[in-house]
């Protein structure tokens, strides 16, 4: 990921021509084989060249990425899983961050919010299969790419088979492997796939002999796999090749995985989200790989794309996550996702489906606190992006289209299946059903194309529409038409409209088709069904043409229902109306005892179809009653489109609603939305307490216990340019702010201090001579900065002075290249000097960061939550801090001089039960685009660092405070660190808690996460 994607693409284009070979030369190899590929350690998860099987059932593994560590409120994990399941998805992929689990070498701490057992339980309850990705390297836009900071001190090359690195990794792999193994499907859990390592594909020097991946240590990859197998992993290993080169594909030798997978980010990952309507960026997927690329690398395994673009990150000074959402939007999902479907991808994971939050300094330096990335589910868990609904249409389609999994893609064609070269059509050719993926030749076009489509059917080749007129594709859209598509016992001979779902019941079969606004569509079924009758007001044309009933219809803004003989119904929807349809699997009949329950694509009476607005989570039937669980954000008319029973009672979230029976067993009712009055405290009117948090500037400050900077060497890739190392990681400090104190005795010639510091993109530093402010670097895109600070007056010989240097640590660099050592990039002081004093040894340095460094104190919040600011070292950010004797001062009064202040207050909340009410903290005193103040704020809620605000860079000024971290029914402790970089000081204006939405919800209310409270630390 990151900004390396431009380089990757350039390198890939050098290699691509040898792989993008003619489809016809390889299609003949793709013939049906007998299921049976397995790991030899189990036979529950198997695969062939088409798909995986779980318990003998073919599964389209349509998945979204969710990171448990980015939502440290385990009680909310089920909510996210249920929202993914409601999309029709079958899976979730997740990373584990080593740096949070083993912050102290040799000490694995996978408890509390870092435990995974509740994550596994929630996945099983929601009916979601899991792909586990434990690393050890994960990238993921986290500090160090997931590596703990202490790895930077190791002598061996990281991500290699160097014994020093492998020994450092062994404890983590054996521990996390054991944890995951207990949650495998073979043990009754949801984990069906495991990915060892991550994107181990790409070298820093791709011009070396052997090329782009000559640096890969195959022995290391094999060692990681062996460690996971030894820890009990028996399910298949899946890879994700960052560049599609076939690295570690099955049969490739040492380190080969069971199933080969690759990554693709058409609009790049780490680029700009500015001007989101501009699609002339990145690389179209087909310029990177196609179906024949897959066949060349791994013809006997399913086509897997382990990461595909589901969002885009935004850097410090960027345009904000809403712009990224507008870039990777519903239109992107229609066009670019269907490019992959045209290759018959059967394992597909969208990165991200829910991004979450870079709380507690866990992010890397090119990203801010929010990791929303414009994903389908927002950081605050709301479903207000149209992309969610579009993905729901796609997910539900594949849930009922198992024939897709055994098709063979042909080359994309121009003017073969259509009458215009302005469209490209790819045929997915199955032994029965055929799928036609249609898109514009110029995928950036906003124009409308009219066309005819020729399809191959059991009744011969047919050009549609047969009843006159033309089909149309409007702008950035793509469609999947079908022929000979089985709907239970009915053959849908063809349809130009897309399929949402179909379900079979004892007395009737329901098919749901949809189209875009102002479109005309046509379908055909066998003539034995006869022309349909319709619901009132439906306008359609029907003709018998040979052995077919051909129906043409215009998309309307309300549903249209056609009734055929034999209990066959077709519901015709506008796409935006289809967004409101929910396909809810009923609980598997007892005593099945399998979790997650089988997908059951073809079962009779296995689902309920509900039209219901914001969210429907699940359904169950007891006797003559239908129980629905879901969410609404307005008074909502629900309609039970189909169910195994005609319910006499409907209960929504446990409350019975009044119902009316319509024709043909459809039931409707109204759910009243009754929003409560939510009273949030006015933060400006609370009593705030303040204490200076830079006492180091005062005379006589006791810095006993700080780390003396006396290491003459480093294992960092940057050679020392100081007599002793001033790299923070060499002394065990890997996150948060760093504070250095340099003491010297003057000769009388010193006139200025020269500093070169490095903290990562967006970092800042401030420098004081004793208590006198010398100046600041206020931050920018650079990860390092050089600055000279003149001294305010001339020194006399023999004076003792202290330089205090405060540096903002923005996280460790990632380590994307397989042979790179980027996470070793130092944080701290790179070089320094006293103008007029040539001897650098005149300055003796000490440094501090979070209390204890790697021997961190607060195990409940992990090794990265705290930094080196004095109030953090004292533990004053924790609930129960002794604030009563502090000065009364609010953040709006701020600081009148440069420095660091610590502000704290308490407030109560009483959010009523039955409502999901996302809450954010907003800082709104100035726009970063024209900011006149230069300051930084850390936000601590009940001890958890849930925000880093940089006023002069932005863009983030709203910080999500998730329920469970925020006490929704009790007292909360809010604390802020205010670091003023300006000579005149700074203030924090317009600080407010705000409600993001009021959802009347059937979610399971999360419990309050218990974290450590304040106790006296006694550190300076």
Write out the catalytic residue numbers. 199, 307
Q: Which of 533, 495, 529 is nearest to 512 (CA)?
A: 495
Rounded CA-CA distance 725/713 in Å is: 6
Q: Which residue has the tokens 């929910």?
A: 582
Query: Domain 695-848: which topology?
Result: Jelly Rolls (2.60.120)
Bridge-based pairing state of the strands 61-66 and 347-354: parallel
Question: What are the DSSP E strand ranges found in 924-1009?
Answer: 935-941, 944-950, 958-960, 969-980, 991-995, 999-1001
* C-beta neighbour count of 56 within 10 angstroms: 10
Lookup: tokens for 739:
């504070």
Paired tokens of 241: 């090749």
Phi, psi angles (nearest 5°) of residue 448: -105, 130
Q: Which residues of the chain have pLDDT under 50?
A: 3, 13-35, 591, 927-930
Q: Torsion-angle region of residue 890: left (phi > 0), alpha (psi -120 to 50) or beta?
A: beta
Q: Which of 101, 120, 118, 227 is nearest to 174 (CA)?
A: 227
For CA atoms 60, 66, 68, 69, the dihedral sign is: positive
Q: How far is CA 181 from the centre of its chain?
A: 24
Please name which of 220, 231, 215 lies closest in space to residue 167, comparing C-alpha atoms: 220
- Residue with structure tokens 């006791």? 702
The single-letter DSSP state of residue 403 is: G
- Beta partners for 738? 807
- 696: tokens are 């180091």
Residue 75 is predicted with a pLDDT of 98
Q: How far apart are the first and last CA of the chain?
A: 40
The enclosing H or E element of 230 equals: helix 218-230
Alpha carbons 167 and 716: distance in angstroms, whole number: 19
Is 478 in contact with 437 (CB distance < 8 Å)?
A: yes
SS3 for 873? helix
Cβ(512)–Cβ(401) below 8 Å: no
CA-wise closest residue to 921 among 941, 943, 892? 941
Short-list 712, 829, 859, CA closest to 767: 829
Angle among Cα 735, 736, 737 to the nearest 5 degrees reads 125
Domain with CATH 3.20.20.80 in the chain: 2-17+39-383
pTM of the model: 0.96
- CATH architecture label of 683-690+869-1001: Sandwich (2.60)
Interatomic CA distance for residues 901 and 924, integer angstroms: 19
Where along the chain do the CATH 2.60.120.260 domains lie?
Answer: 683-690+869-1001, 695-848
Nearest-5° Cα angle at 70, 693 to 82 = 145
The answer to whether the beta carbons of residues 288 and 38 sit under 8 Å apart is no
Q: What is the pLDDT of residue 33?
A: 39
CB-hemisphere CA count at 13 Å for 25? 7
Identify the pLDDT of residue 592. 57
* Residue 41 CB coordination number (10 Å): 12
**CB-based contact 944:860 (threshold 8 Å):** no
Angle subtended by helix axes 117-126 and 77-85, to nearest 10: 30
Residues present in the chain in total: 1020
Return the sign of the alpha-carbon dihedral for residues 721, 725, 729, 733.
negative
How many angstroms separate the CA atoms of 270 and 267, rounded?
9
Q: Are 139 and 816 in contact (CB under 8 A)?
A: yes
Give the model confidence (pLDDT) of 5-44 as tens digits: 555 555 554 444 444 433 333 333 333 334 468 888 999 9
Cβ atoms 769, 793 nearer than 8 A: no
- The strand ranges marked E within 729-843 are 736-745, 752-758, 765-769, 772-777, 784-790, 800-809, 828-835
> Can you read off the two tokens belonging to residue 224?
């990681």
Q: What is the pLDDT of residue 3?
A: 47
CB 756 within 8 A of CB 786: yes
Residue-level pLDDT at 666: 82
Structure confidence at residue 173 (pLDDT): 98
Handedness of CA 107, 112, 113, 117 (dihedral sign): positive
Residues 291 and 233: their CA atoms lie apart, in Å, by 30
Q: Which residue has the tokens 């991946």?
A: 213
Widest distance between CA atoms in the chain: 108
> Does residue 537 contact residue 568 with C-beta atoms inside 8 Å?
no
Q: How many CB atoms lie within 10 A of CB 928?
A: 16
**All residues at 6 or more sequence positions from 912 whose CB lies less than 8 Å from its CB, including other chains:** 676
Task: Using alpha carbons, select from 936, 970, 941 the residue that is nearest to residue 952.
Answer: 936
Say whether 339 sits in a helix, a strand or coil: helix
pLDDT at position 6, please? Answer: 52
Rg of the chain on CA atoms, in Å: 30
Cα 484 off chain centre by: 37
The closest of 993, 937, 992, 984 to 966, measured between CA atoms, is: 993
d(CA 245, CA 296): 10
pLDDT, tens only, 376-391: 999 999 999 999 999 9
Q: In whole angstroms, give the CA distance from residue 563 to residue 534.
A: 6
Closest C-alpha to 243, from 263, 224, 260, 228? 263
**What pLDDT score was predicted for residue 538?**
79
Q: Environment class of residue 281 by beta-carbon count within 10 Å: exposed (0-12), middle (13-18) or buried (19+)?
A: middle
Q: Are 953 and 315 in contact (CB under 8 A)?
A: no
Q: Is the CB of residue 414 less than 8 Å from the CB of residue 441?
A: yes
> What CATH class does 2-17+39-383 carry?
alpha beta
Contact 533, 562 (CB under 8 A): yes
Provide the strand spans (E) within 332-487: 347-354, 408-409, 413-414, 423-429, 434-440, 448-451, 453-457, 460-464, 471-474, 478-487
């Amino acid at each position: 990921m990151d900004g390396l994607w431009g380089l990757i693409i350039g390198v890939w284009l050098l290699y691509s021509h040898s792989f993008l070979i003619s489809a016809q030369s390889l299609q003949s190899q793709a013939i049906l084989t007998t299921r049976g590929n397995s790991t030899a350690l189990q036979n529950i998860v198997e695969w062939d060249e088409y798909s995986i099987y779980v318990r003998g059932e073919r599964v389209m593994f349509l998945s979204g990425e969710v990171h448990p560590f980015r939502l440290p409120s385990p009680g909310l994990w089920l909510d996210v899983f249920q929202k993914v399941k409601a999309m029709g998805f079958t899976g979730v992929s997740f990373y584990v961050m080593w740096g949070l689990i083993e912050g102290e070498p040799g000490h694995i701490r996978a408890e509390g919010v870092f435990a995974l057992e509740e994550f596994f339980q929630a996945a099983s309850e929601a009916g979601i299969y899991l792909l586990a990705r434990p690393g050890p390297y994960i990238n993921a836009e986290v500090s160090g790419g997931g590596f703990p900071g202490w790895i930077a001190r190791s002598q061996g090359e990281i991500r290699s088979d160097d014994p020093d690195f492998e020994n450092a990794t062994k404890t983590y792999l054996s521990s996390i492997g054991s944890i995951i193994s207990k949650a495998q499907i073979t043990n009754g859990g949801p984990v069906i796939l495991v990915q060892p390592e991550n994107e181990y594909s790409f070298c820093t020097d791709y011009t070396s002999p052997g090329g782009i991946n000559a640096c890969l240590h195959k022995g290391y990859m094999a060692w990681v796999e062996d460690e996971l197998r030894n820890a009990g992993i028996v399910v298949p290993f899946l890879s994700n090749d960052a560049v599609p080169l076939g690295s570690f594909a099955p049969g490739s030798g040492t380190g080969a995985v069971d199933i080969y997978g690759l990554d693709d980010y058409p609009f790049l990952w780490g680029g700009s989200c500015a001007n989101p309507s501009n699609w002339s960026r990145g690389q179209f997927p087909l310029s990177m790989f196609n179906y024949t690329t897959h066949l060349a690398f791994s013809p006997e395994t399913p086509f897997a794309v382990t990461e595909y673009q589901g969002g885009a990150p935004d850097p410090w000074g960027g345009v904000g996550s809403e712009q990224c959402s507008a870039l990777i939007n519903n239109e992107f999902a229609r066009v670019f996702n269907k490019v992959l479907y045209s290759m018959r991808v059967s394992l597909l994971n969208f990165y991200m489906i829910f991004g979450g939050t870079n709380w507690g300094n866990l992010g890397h330096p090119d990203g801010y606190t929010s990791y929303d990335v414009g994903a389908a589910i927002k950081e605050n868990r709301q479903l207000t992006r149209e992309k969610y609904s579009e993905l729901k249409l796609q997910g539900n389609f594949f849930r009922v289209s198992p024939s897709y999994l055994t098709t063979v893609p042909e080359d994309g064609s121009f003017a073969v299946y259509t009458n215009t070269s302005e469209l490209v059509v790819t045929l997915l050719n199955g032994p029965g059903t055929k799928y036609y993926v249609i898109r514009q030749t110029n995928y950036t076009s906003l124009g409308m194309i009219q066309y005819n489509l020729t399809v191959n059917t059991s009744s011969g080749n047919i050009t549609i529409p047969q009843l006159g007129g033309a089909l149309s594709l409007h702008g950035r859209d793509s469609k999947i038409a079908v022929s000979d598509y089985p709907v239970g016992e009915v053959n849908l001979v063809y349809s130009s409209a897309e399929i949402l779902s179909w379900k079979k019941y004892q007395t009737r079969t329901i098919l749901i088709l949809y189209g875009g606004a102002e479109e005309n569509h046509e379908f055909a079924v066998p003539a034995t069904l006869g022309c349909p009758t319709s619901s009132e007001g439906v306008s359609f044309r029907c003709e018998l043409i040979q052995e077919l009933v051909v129906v043409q219809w215009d998309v309307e803004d309300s549903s249209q229902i056609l009734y055929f003989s034999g209990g066959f119904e077709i519901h015709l929807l506008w796409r935006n109306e289809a967004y409101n349809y929910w396909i809810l699997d009923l609980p598997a009949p007892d005593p099945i005892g399998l979790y997650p329950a089988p997908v059951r694509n073809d079962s009779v009476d296995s689902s309920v179809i509900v039209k219901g607005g914001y969210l429907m989570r699940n359904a169950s039937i007891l006797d003559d009653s239908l129980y629905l669980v879901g969410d609404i954000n307005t008074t909502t008319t629900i309609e039970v489109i189909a169910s195994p029973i005609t319910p006499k009672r409907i209960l929504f979230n446990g409350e019975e609603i009044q119902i009316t029976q319509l024709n043909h067993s459809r039931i409707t009712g109204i759910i009243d939305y009754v929003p409560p009055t939510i009273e949030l405290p006015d933060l400006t009117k609370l009593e705030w307490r303040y204490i200076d948090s830079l006492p180091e500037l005062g005379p006589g400050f006791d810095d006993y216990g700080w780390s003396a900077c006396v290491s003459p060497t480093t294992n960092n890739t940057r050679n020392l340019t100081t007599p002793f190392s001033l790299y923070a990681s060499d002394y065990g400090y890997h996150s948060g702010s760093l504070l250095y104190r340099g003491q010297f005795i003057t000769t009388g010639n010193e006139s200025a201090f020269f500093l070169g510091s490095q903290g990562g993109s967006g970092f800042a530093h401030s420098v004081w001579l004793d208590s006198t402010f010398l100046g600041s670097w206020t931050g920018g895109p650079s990860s390092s900065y050089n600055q000279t600070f003149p001294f305010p007056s001339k020194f006399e010989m023999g004076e003792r002075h202290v330089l205090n240097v405060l540096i903002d640590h923005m996280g460790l660099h990632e380590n994307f290249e397989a042979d790179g050592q980027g996470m070793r990039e130092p944080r701290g002081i790179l070089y320094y000097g006293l103008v007029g004093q040539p001897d650098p040894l005149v300055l003796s340095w000490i440094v501090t960061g979070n209390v204890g460094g790697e021997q961190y104190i607060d195990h409940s919040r992990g090794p990265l939550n705290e930094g080196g600011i004095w109030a953090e070292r004292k533990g004053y950010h924790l609930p129960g801090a002794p604030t009563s004797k502090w000065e009364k001062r609010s953040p709006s009064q701020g600081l009148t001089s440069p420095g660091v202040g610590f502000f704290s207050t308490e407030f109560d909340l009483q959010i009523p039960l039955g409502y999901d009410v996302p809450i954010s903290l907003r800082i709104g005193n100035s726009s970063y685009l024209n900011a006149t103040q230069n300051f930084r704020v850390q936000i601590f809620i009940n001890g958890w660092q849930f925000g880093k605000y940089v006023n002069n860079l932005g863009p983030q000024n709203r910080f999500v405070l998730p329920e469970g971290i925020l006490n929704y029914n009790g007292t909360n402790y809010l604390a802020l660190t205010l670091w003023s970089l300006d000579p005149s000081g700074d203030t924090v204006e317009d600080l407010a808690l705000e409600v993001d939405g009021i959802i009347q919800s059937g979610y399971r209310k999360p419990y309050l996460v218990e974290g450590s409270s304040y106790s006296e630390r006694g550190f300076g």
